[in-house]
Copies of this chain bind each other. A is one copy, B any other.
């Protein structure tokens, strides 16, 4: 297999969001991630191996400082809509850091949360750092962009509760948590927006211990603790 200069240039352009948007494609790298892509429902446009295209071409198309031996170009799926069934869902209100979003998708995957709702201002799902830090969970967890206030009202209309984490919420360990509903996690710096907070039924806090001086937990760590509390028996 060979690769043309034009193809190199096109794949290389996918490191920028405007070209990911224009082509409707993104890149994943590494044997494990490429296997995950091939086994997923995503359309894999092309798989490129260093053995076949050569080290120099691989270095040009790779987005990693140490290019991996294999890379895939994957088509972005059509935006998903979600029918609400009874179960546990996650809503992310303005998560800006790609490492956090990827890690949260991995956490949702671990705790069996199949659908994650993202507010419109979350970091782009196909940002390379999101993809890599999700460790393949981006292929397994369904991500749906949604207006969170309207979504929260849909949950409440369907008889499910809306939970949110707040620094002045109620002790998570003492609340009755039903494994049905929407759990909202807020922006790294400013938390959950007022218009979303207004739709929350139960305000939760992960208590700190001892003479802690920490002002908050990282949002991915807080997501892990919160989902663990919903799932533990």
Contact = CB atoms under 8 A, between A and B. Distances in A.
Contact of A109 (B214, B222, B231): B214
A8 interface: no
Interface in A171-223: 173, 206-218, 220-223
A112 B221 contact: no
A178 to B, nearest CB: 15
Contact of A107 (B109, B136, B173, B221): B221
B228 A114 contact: no
A45 interface: no
B217 A112 contact: no
Q: How large is the interface on A (under 10, 10 to 19, 20 to 34, 35 or more residues)?
A: 35 or more
A209 B231 contact: yes
Contacts of A20: none
A225 to B, nearest CB: 5
A135 B225 contact: no
Contacts of A208: 110-112
Given A99-B99, A221-B103, A228-B225, A135 B215 contact: yes
A18 B106 CA distance: 35
17 contacts: A106-B221, A110-B208, A110-B212, A111-B208, A111-B210, A112-B209, A114-B210, A133-B218, A135-B214, A135-B215, A135-B216, A136-B214, A137-B213, A209-B231, A218-B220, A221-B224, A224-B224
